[in-house]
Structure 1
Amino acid sequence: MNEKNGRKAARILLGGSLLFAGISHMTFARKEFKAQVPDWVPLKKDDTVLYSGLAEIALGSSLVLTNEKHQQTVGKAAAMFFTAIFPGNISQYTHKRSAFGLDTNAKRFTRLFFQPILVYWALKSTNNL
């Protein structure tokens, strides 16, 4: 597989993952996602989960369907989204909220290191790096 095809596969996999996550925000995992919403967010937790789910569906669809002309823009938007939701992961850790099998401080802390990987993935798979 050449580099271009590898990036395309990575972009589509990330997009599909975002689509799945977005759908799960609105359906079977709403309660779990509420555990990640920081208390300082000025919206109801359920509304925040729904809005972020819509954003994930839009970003996921864009990553899967985008043409070469718009890939970098979509990749930057996805990277910004992953950066914007990082405080939710920190909140889950600092408030010791269990969700998605993250039921210990060690697991919640380890989760924090995956967010930069998602930012890198979004940028690398869309020719921003």
Structure 2
Amino acid sequence: MSNTTSSTQNLFRVILGLLMMMAGIGHLTFQREEFQAQVPRWLPTSEAFMDFVVVASGVFEILLGLAMVFLVKHKVKAGIALAIFYVLIFPGNISQYTNGIDAFGLDTDLKRFIRLFFQPVLILWALWSTGALKYLTNKQK
């Protein structure tokens, strides 16, 4: 896997990694209740289970953030893993929208709907900043 990325890509990779670590810390501490709003309602809604999902995803976010920042030799893999993570958590954003759940200042259907369009941006950010997008498109040739 090629590790050639520009200085701009590296900067954005580190920024995304730091944001992931901050979000993960939020899952475990001061934003724990807010993140419970994004647990899909088709999963069990017991408080203990929802808290487990929030804590587990927070741990994964911290680990993925650390990988984005520090595992430079494996940044393509880290980018792909983070993109997959974003895909896996997207149902939580859809659930928040379809169930009209207020959290993170998303207190209207319009705000929750607009939020849905940021997930593809995060996926592309993870893939582009790590060189994974180039790796995956070249692999297809």
| 2:97 alignment partner in structure 1 | 93
Q: Secondary structure at the match of 2:6?
A: helix
**Number of residue pairs the alignment of both structures matches:** 126
Give, in whole Å, the separation in 1 of the partners of 2:9 and 2:40. Answer: 33
- Matched to 1:97, the amino acid is I
- Flag structure 1 segments of 5+ consecutive residues without an equivalent: none
Task: Tell me what 2:125 maps to.
Answer: 121
Q: Which runs of 4+ in 1 moved over 6 A?
A: none
Q: 1:11 aligns with which of 7, 10, 13?
A: 13
Quote how far apart the aligned CAs of 1:88 are: 0.2
Give yes or no for the alignment of 1:51 onto 2:46: no
26, 29, 53: which one pairs with 1:27? 29
**Which protein has the larger Cα radius of gyration, Structure 1 or Structure 2?**
2
Equivalent in the alignment of 1:110: 114
TM-score by structure 1 length? 0.94
Please report the RMSD computed on the Cα atoms of aligned residues, expressed in angstroms: 1.1
Counterpart amino acid of 1:124?
A: W
What percentage of residue pairs aligned between the two structures are identical?
Answer: 52
Map of 1:73 onto structure 2? 77
Q: Distance in 1 between matches of 2:43 and 2:16?
A: 26
